[in-house]
Amino acid sequence: MTDFHQLVVKKIQKAFPDAVEEVQEFRGECTIVVDMESVHAICKMVCEDEELDCNFIVDICADDMLPDYPRFAVNYQIRSMDNNGEFRLRTFVDDPDEGPQTVGDIWNVGGWLEVEVYDLMGITFQGNTGLRRLFLPEDWVGHPLRKDYPLGYEEVQFSFNWEAIQEKKPYAGRKRLADNN
C-alpha cells in the first residue's frame, strides 16, 4: 500500500468507524468496502478534506455478483490529482431500487456516470433526478449488463405462443429470482 492509500484508509476509518467493512489490496490497488448508507458522506469527506483533496472521480461502475448475494457492487474510482493517488470505494447494493445516494453534488460528473449505471445495470441512485434510458430506447425492458439478462439464443416469441415461452424463459426479472432463493 502506498502512503496515500494508508492515509485514506486511516482517515476514513477514523471518521466512519462503523462504515468500513473491509480493506482489500490486489495488484497494488486499494479497495475500501463500505456500507451503502455512508458512501455519500465518505465521498464528501475525502473530497473536502484538505490533505486528501480527492477532486476527481474517474468512474462509477456497477458489477453484478450473481450468484452471490448481496447482488450488486458499485465501485467509485476516486482520485486525488495533487497527491497523485487513487483508490476504489466499493459498496454492495441489495435492492437495486434503493441504491446509494447520488454523488452528483460532490463531483458534477457524478450524476452523468450514474445514469449509465442505471441504464445498463438498473441501480437507482437516491436523489439523482436525471436517471433515464441513456443508451437504450425509452421503452426497453430490462437492464442488459445483469447476469440474468440473456445474450441471444432465445426462442422467438410470436403472439400465439408468447405466454408459453415467457413462462419458461431463463430469466424473469427480480421476482423469479427471489422465488428461487
Partner 1 sequence: MTLMAQGGDTVRELTVEELRNKLGTGMEISNEENMLLSMGPQHPSTHGVLRLLVELEGEKIINLAPDIGFLHTGIEKNMEAKTFTKALVMTDRMDYLSPMSNNLGYVLAVEKLLGIEAPPRAQAIRMILAEMARIGSHLVWLGTSALDMAAMSVFLYCFREREYILDVFEMCAGQRMMVSYFRPGGLWRDVPEEFIPAVEEFLRFMPAKIADYEGLLKNNPLWLARTKDVGVISKEDAISWGLTGASLRGSGSDWDLRKATPYIGYENVEFDVPVRTEGDVYARYACRMDEMKESLRIIRQALDKLPDGPVNSADRKVVPPPRSELGTSMEAVIHHFKIWTEGFKAPKGFVKQSIESPRGEFMCYLRGDGGSKPARVHFRTPSFVNLASIPVMSKNLYVADLVAIIGSVDIVLGEIDR
The footprint of partner 1 (CB under 8 A) covers: 26-27, 29, 31, 55-59, 61, 63-64, 75, 77, 81, 84, 88, 107-109, 112-113, 116, 120, 129-130, 132-139, 144-145, 149, 151
Nearer to partner 1, 153 or 179 (CB): 153
Of 13 and 55, nearer to partner 1 (C-beta) is: 55
Q: Return the SS3 of 82.
A: coil
| 63 burial type by CB count under 10 A (0-12 exposed, 13-18 middle, 19+ buried) | middle
Q: Which is nearer to partner 1, 18 or 21 (CB)?
A: 21
Residues 6 or more apart whose Cβ sits within 8 Å of residue 164: none
Residues paired with residue 86 on neighbouring β-strands, in sequence order: 79
Please state the closest distance from residue 67 (CB atom) to partner 1, in A: 11
Q: Please report how close the Cβ of residue 21 comes to partner 1 at its closest, in angstroms.
A: 16
Among residues 14 and 61, whose Cβ is nearest to partner 1? 61
Cβ distance to partner 1 smaller for residue 18 or 166: 166
For 98, residues 6+ apart whose C-beta sits below 8 A from its C-beta are 124, 126
What is the nearest approach in angstroms of partner 1 to the Cβ of residue 129?
8
Q: Are 156 and 125 in contact (CB under 8 A)?
A: no
Least separation in angstroms between CB 177 and partner 1? 18
Q: In Å, how far are 11, 103, 142, 164, 179 from 39, measured between CA atoms?
A: 14, 9, 26, 43, 30
CB of 13: closest distance to partner 1 in angstroms?
22
